[in-house]
């Protein structure tokens, strides 16, 4: 498929919905899916109409062809691929309304997005809402660094999302993960400028919100205001748990590592006792430079501390010659291993097993750790009946303790490795 520009413009095209075939100028032409047979009642199958409208748009010889999907209608579609090659390299998918999100996948499953470029959306560029098994790859997303609320990719109430090989430069989060999201895998992301990769914010206005089983790896942040961030509001409920950040490079990001349970988007936020629980977070092999002195900020709730926080091989130096980075570490319980720069004093040192036998380091009654010399990274260990040593990926840990390994693998698709240790 030839790359094309998916460019959402804030124009008054809505008023032209009855002139879908009209030529706005000699170089712009609009193709309305309704004029190609789409009904838009949520009952009739509009797949062929969308396909026909796309083919007309793709084969248009004008400079700026636009495929138009009217607002206020519900279109029932079967799996559909918009293929090239197209005659124009400046194709527009036009949205109407006030500050629309550029591209939304909602109530869908088994979706694959590949090879698109998104530019200057008036709000979020891409949103996955109430969807499962979505794979987004080889995308480019860009907006000015001072453009507010222009998140690159926003995920909410969605599961089994894979995001990889994407270049994102915006004025807000490169990727944001919100309530109801689980089993999110993010890798090979080039982020900057922007606000980094954020889990949250969660728990605004006392809401119960959850995010779990998130794996972020092989990401570079360049000139971002944050790196990897977990942010929750005071007074909220729920949890953010089973989260891994590994092989991250910070190139002058202001705050490369953040957990903030006191997030406040305005000036006046009152102190409250309840909080969203943050637990089971692994930071592994994070390196580079910080543009701010405080490179690691763990600001956790006194009433509900962050638990099971693990750091391994962290080296974050200052961008200023002769200056050192530092950390904030409030109400955190966890372990550390390897070189940690800056020092994070609230985490206890984890030691390798002695020659007299492997030693398990307990974090909670149901989760234990083993540091293994032959492994590239720290991995959780669990002991189960009839299988004295079993090695499980981080996102399998909580359930592996409760269920047999084979049964768990079949039910959840998590791979269990035997005989290591």
**Integer Cα distance of 71 and 58 in angstroms:** 22
Active-site residue, selected from the candidate residues 125, 154, 183, 195? 195
Token duo for residue 103: 């591209």
Contact status, residue 168 vs residue 153, Cβ threshold 8 Å: yes
Q: For 122-172, give the DSSP string.
A: SS-SEEEES-EEEEEEEEEEE--TT-TT--SEEEES-EEEEEEEEEEE-SS
Burial 383-402 (b: 16+ CB within 10 A, else e): ebeeeeebbbbbbbbbbbbe
**Integer Cα distance of 378 and 384 in angstroms:** 19
**Integer Cα distance of 64 and 62 in angstroms:** 6
Helix (H, G, I), strand (E, B) or coil at 181: strand
**Integer Cα distance of 61 and 42 in angstroms:** 32
Query: Does the annotation count 352 as an active-site position?
Result: no
From the CA atom positions of the chain, what is the Rg in Å? 24
What backbone torsions phi and psi does residue 256 show, to the nearest 5 degrees? -65, -35
Token duo for residue 354: 């002695």
Helix (H, G, I), strand (E, B) or coil at 342: coil
- Of 155, 366, 189, give the one whose Cα is nearest residue 280: 366
Contact status, residue 136 vs residue 168, Cβ threshold 8 Å: no
**Integer Cα distance of 314 and 342 in angstroms:** 8
Distances 394 to 138, 151, 166, 399 between C-alpha atoms, Å: 27, 28, 24, 10
Q: Which residues are catalytic?
A: 195
């Amino acid at each position: 498929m030839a790359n094309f520009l998916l460019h959402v413009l804030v124009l008054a095209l809505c008023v032209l919905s009855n002139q879908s075939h009209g030529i706005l100028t000699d170089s712009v032409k609009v193709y309305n899916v309704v004029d190609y047979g789409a009904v838009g009642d949520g009952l009739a199958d509009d797949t062929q109409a969308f396909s026909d409208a796309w083919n007309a748009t793709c084969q248009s010889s004008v400079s700026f062809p636009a495929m138009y999907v009217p607002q206020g209608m519900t279109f029932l579609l079967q799996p559909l691929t918009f293929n090239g090659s197209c005659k124009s390299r400046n194709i527009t998918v036009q949205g109407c309304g006030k500050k629309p999100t550029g591209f939304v996948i909602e109530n869908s499953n088994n979706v694959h997005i590949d090879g698109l470029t998104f530019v200057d959306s008036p709000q979020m560029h891409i949103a996955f809402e109430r969807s499962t098994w979505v794979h987004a790859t080889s995308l480019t997303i860009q907006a000015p660094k001072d453009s507010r609320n222009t998140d690159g990719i926003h995920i909410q109430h969605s599961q089994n999302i894979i995001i990889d090989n994407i270049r994102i430069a915006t004025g807000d989060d490169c990727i944001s993960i919100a309530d109801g999201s689980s089993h999110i895998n993010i890798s090979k992301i080039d982020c900057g400028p922007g606000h980094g990769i954020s889990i949250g914010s969660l728990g605004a206005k006392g809401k119960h919100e959850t995010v779990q089983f998130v794996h972020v790896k092989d990401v570079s942040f360049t000139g971002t205001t944050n790196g990897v961030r977990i942010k929750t509001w005071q007074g909220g409920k729920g949890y953010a748990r089973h989260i891994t950040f590994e092989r991250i490079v910070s190139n002058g990001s202001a705050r490369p590592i953040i957990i903030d349970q006191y997030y406040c988007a305005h000036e006046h936020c009152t102190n409250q006792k309840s909080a969203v629980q943050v637990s089971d977070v692994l930071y592994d092999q994070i390196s580079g430079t910080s543009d701010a002195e405080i490179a690691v900020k763990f600001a956790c709730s006194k009433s509900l501390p962050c638990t099971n926080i693990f750091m391994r091989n962290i080296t974050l130096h200052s961008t200023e010659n002769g200056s050192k980075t530092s950390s904030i570490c409030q109400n955190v319980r966890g372990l550390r291993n390897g070189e940690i720069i800056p020092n994070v004093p609230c985490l206890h040192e984890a030691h390798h097993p002695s020659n007299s036998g492997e030693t398990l380091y307990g974090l909670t009654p149901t989760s234990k750790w083993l540091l293994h010399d032959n492994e590239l990274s720290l991995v959780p260990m669990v002991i189960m009946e009839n299988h004295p040593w079993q090695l499980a990926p981080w996102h399998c840990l909580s359930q592996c303790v409760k269920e047999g390994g084979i049964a768990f693998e079949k039910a959840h698709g998590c791979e269990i490795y035997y005989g290591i240790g």
